[in-house]
Structure 1
Amino acid sequence: MLMRNAGLLALTSLSLFGCGGADMDLPDGDYAPPTAEAIASIPQGLTRGDVDYRAWQWTTVGMLYCQVPNGQWDSFCGYTCNRTGAANTTQWNPYRSDCSGLVSWAWGVSAPGWNTNTIFNDTSQTQRVGHWDMQMGDAITTHNGSSGHTMIFHGWNADGSARVFQELRCGLNAQDVNIPFVRNADGSLRWAADGRTYWPVRKKVL
């Protein structure tokens, strides 16, 4: 698998929150139960490498953050979700391109994708693990009421930071970044830049 060098993100402001900040009410997409046709189109038997590659592809094309599928009006962000170039594909267009949309696509979940509540709390689909057990393709997720953030974990860097693929907030494109999480004794992670606690979450079939 060809992977480009990890991009670096300067986290210089506490105002840079994820797909739902601690002091904001960011609805992380409206979850609609998938149709039988959508379920039939879900890729089966994805490996961790597949998940990682799918998330990397999404970030490589610079997918614009949207809480709606392509071509729809995003009332939260205040713009029409207009994907162009390599980001405009029949595979991606039915998905929300917010944080949980990226994770849903990477995990092979049907469009428009799960929200962070499903990723974080639905134990029939996912399970939380400790940071010591994190593997490529796991999600790193927080959820608080109607707001939350999630990202795909690629791996640990030599300096202890985590390389992740994420959609952060309105107006930004998907990111391949390194985040210096603090590793808590209970297995959770803390991202000092947004002040929230995250848990590694695993899709059960991976």
Structure 2
Amino acid sequence: MLMEFSEVEPDEACVCGGCSARRRARHLAVRSGHGASAQARGARRAAVLLAAVGSVLGGGGVASIASAAPRTDSSPLAADSPQGEVAGLFGEPVEARRSLAPQAATSRAEILRRAQGWVDQKVPYSMTKYWSDGYRQDCSGFVSMAWGLGSSQTTWTLPDFADRISKDDLQPGDALIYNNAKDPQGGSHTVLFGGWVDAAHTKYTALEQTRPGTTERSTPYAYWSNSGKYVPYRYKGLSQPMPAPDGDAFPGADRFGPGKVNDYVTRLGKLLVERGGGRFYREGPSPDWGEADRKATEAFQLAQGWRGAEADGYPGKDTWDFLVHHKGKDIPPAAGVPSPPPPPPQSAPPFPGADKFGPGKVNDYVTQLGRQLVQKGFGSFYQEGPSADWGEADRRNVEAFQRAQGWSGSEADGYPGPHTWRLLFS
């Protein structure tokens, strides 16, 4: 009797000999590398055939073999990102135990910087091509690149480099991984976690490699499809773990300002309430940055005798240090030192035209734009003060302001239009 069998993935929960053999075959095939893919596939098929025959003849744990099911994702935003196999830089073969070797330390900032580089370049998606940095241009190659692994791994081997964490532990630079046993290469996917978009933790910024190229977008947790099957992981090689919200280390100025939603904003508000700033909050401090946070911070800074840029209402290292170590003076009661009056409303200056901004542009409007971005709390990309020469720092600061309004795609391209200009100067 002629018997034909289709290749399927072993049930992870089954402990029978057949499934164990198939799991070993899959494991070796995934680790075997780019150059041996045909041989690996042959080994997998042979293992499946032997396991199935043993099951049919010996009455083992597998009663029947079914064809691999196609993907059933119905969302128009479902990932379309099949992945290649484990490979070294530029597709060079790697040893099977490569994923068990110690990895070079990196920081969250470095992970996000590398990932943003692909986002900015819109690296085209490919499961066979390798980008100029040597990494494969698919989803697992993208995370491998961001983590600095020195090889392109797969969604099945990336967990070897990471620790499993919970949703509540997710921080920028961590990864969400979904492995589909029925379609290991075409149905699995991974994305980088870029931070929560809302206080309820229902949406986050995902940086990912999918067709047609690298993208960054607000994404429902855990993903558009197969949401309950994504698992959070943290790279083991982190050299500078992000400080906990209840720690003493200053988390960075980029944690505070319009559009920011995180636990550091909550802790700032609680510290300010302890120092006499409760009157600025109609409701208790929350993760959403608001005008109450800015006014309470400003009042605390003024109480220390600081003025000008030192009392702009946005916490820096000194403000944070004074608050967490209970240094300096408390915020005086309203009867003693009234809160500074708000500045009179100003109408936005006329938009000078989109042709005044972009690469090669040098004019006073670029300076005016940069100064207003700094005043609004969106100047973190300037290494020097704003100037008349348009640069990448201007574009990234404008993009940050646009994203804070909830915009994405072409609406957050980093180039000011009339609407951006009006909101920025309002």
Q: TM-score range by the shorter chain?
A: 0.5 to 0.7
Q: Specify the alignment match of 2:104 in structure 1.
A: 44
TM superposition shift of 1:107:
0.3
Q: Specify the alignment match of 2:48 in structure 1.
A: none
1:30 pairs, out of 69, 85, 94, with 85
Matches within 5 A, 1:123-138: 125-138=161-174
Paired residues of 1:95 and 1:105 also in contact (CA < 8 A): yes
Matches within 5 A, 1:156-167: 156-158=196-198, 160=201, 161-167=203-209
Matches within 5 A, 1:1-206: 14-20=75-81, 26=82, 28-32=83-87, 34=94, 44-70=104-130, 89=132, 91=133, 94-111=134-151, 113-120=152-159, 122=160, 125-145=161-181, 146=184, 147-158=187-198, 160=201, 161-169=203-211, 172-181=212-221, 189=222, 191=223, 193-196=224-227, 197-206=229-238
Of all paired residues, the percent bearing the same amino acid is: 29
Q: TM-score, normalised by structure 1?
A: 0.64
TM superposition shift of 1:144:
1.2
Paired residues of 1:166 and 1:174 also in contact (CA < 8 A): yes
Paired residues of 1:135 and 1:155 also in contact (CA < 8 A): yes
Which amino acid is the alignment partner of residue 106 of structure 1?
Answer: A
CA distance, structure 2, for counterparts of residue 166 and residue 151 of structure 1: 5
Deviations 1:42-65 (A, max 9, x none): 993310110011111111100001
Q: Which has the larger radius of gyration?
A: 2
Paired residues of 1:164 and 1:178 also in contact (CA < 8 A): yes
Which amino acid is the alignment partner of residue 225 of structure 2?
Answer: D
Paired residues of 1:19 and 1:148 also in contact (CA < 8 A): no
Change (3 A) 1:198 1:115: same
Paired residues of 1:55 and 1:102 also in contact (CA < 8 A): yes
Q: Specify the alignment match of 2:315 in structure 1.
A: none
Larger helix fraction of residues: 2
Change (3 A) 1:34 1:200: same
Q: How many pairs are equivalent? A: 149
TM superposition shift of 1:19:
4.9
Which amino acid is the alignment partner of residue 226 of structure 2?
Answer: G
User: RMSD of the TM alignment (CA)?
Assistant: 2.5
Q: TM-score, normalised by structure 2?
A: 0.32
Larger strand fraction of residues: 1
CA distance, structure 1, for counterparts of residue 85 and residue 213 of structure 2: 20
CA distance, structure 2, for counterparts of residue 29 and residue 56 of structure 1: 22
Change (3 A) 1:63 1:167: same
Flag structure 1 segments of 5+ consecutive residues without an equivalent. 1-12, 21-25, 71-87, 182-188
Which amino acid is the alignment partner of residue 110 of structure 1?
Answer: G
Which amino acid is the alignment partner of residue 180 of structure 2?
Answer: N
